[in-house]
């Protein structure tokens, strides 16, 4: 869990910061989706090759998890198969997409305050990259 405290001079400045974060997350998501599609093509090619080889009578070994080492808090995958890479990237894409959705909801909730012309200072407490608490001080 990461915790960051950020100060803003206005609600508009905070909303612009959220917009910038959304743009960056969407850019990263786009890159991940392109990479994921490339890996899916690779997985399909591997499946076709294995299918052809099995029709020719070659023995194809079942996918084993012998390249996976599970430690207490992390899973290590040595020389991952394309399918293992796809699975890992799909998890990352889903998590990033959820984060984008949550940040959009936060922005929507705060857009109402953005139109106010009251001078305020904001302190935003971010937990795992999302603002969870916002302290507003009226000047």
Residue with tokens 């869990």: 1
User: What percentage of the chain exceeds 90 in pLDDT?
Assistant: 56
Q: Regarding predicted confidence, which is higher, 26 or 117?
A: 26
Q: Which domain holds residue 23?
A: 3-59+66-138
Q: With pLDDT > 70 as the criterion, what percentage of the chain qualifies?
A: 95
Q: Is the pLDDT of residue 80 over 70?
A: yes
Sequence-ordered list of residues with C-beta below 8 angstroms from that of 81, at least 6 positions apart, any chain: 46, 63, 67
CB under 8 Å, gap of 24 or more: what pairs does 126-133 form? 126/2, 126/3, 126/4, 126/5, 126/6, 127/1, 127/2, 127/3, 128/1, 128/2, 129/2, 129/21, 129/99, 130/99, 130/102, 130/103, 130/106, 131/18, 131/106
Angle 34-130-138 (CA atoms, 0-180°, nearest 5)? 140
Domain count across the chain: 1
Asked if pLDDT for residue 65 goes beyond 70, the answer is no
Confidence of residue 18 (pLDDT cuts 50, 70, 90): very high
Q: Is 57 helix (H, G, I), strand (E, B) or coil?
A: coil
pLDDT over 80 (residue 116): no
- Looking at 11-15, 109-113, 131-135, which range is the least confident one? 109-113
| Residue 24 near residue 138, CB atoms below 8 Å | no
């Amino acid at each position: 869990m990461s915790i960051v405290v950020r100060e803003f001079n206005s609600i508009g400045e905070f909303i612009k910061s959220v917009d910038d974060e959304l743009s960056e997350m969407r850019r990263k998501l786009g890159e991940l989706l392109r990479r994921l599609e490339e890996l899916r093509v690779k997985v399909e090619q591997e499946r076709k090759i294995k299918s052809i080889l099995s029709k020719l009578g070659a023995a194809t070994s079942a996918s084993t998890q012998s390249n996976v080492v599970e430690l207490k808090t992390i899973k290590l995958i040595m020389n991952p198969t394309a399918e293992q890479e796809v699975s890992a990237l799909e998890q990352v894409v889903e998590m990033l997409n959820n984060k984008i959705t949550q940040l959009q909801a936060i922005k929507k909730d705060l857009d109402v305050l953005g139109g106010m012309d009251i001078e305020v200072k904001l302190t935003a407490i971010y937990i795992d990259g999302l603002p969870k608490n916002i302290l507003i001080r009226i000047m």
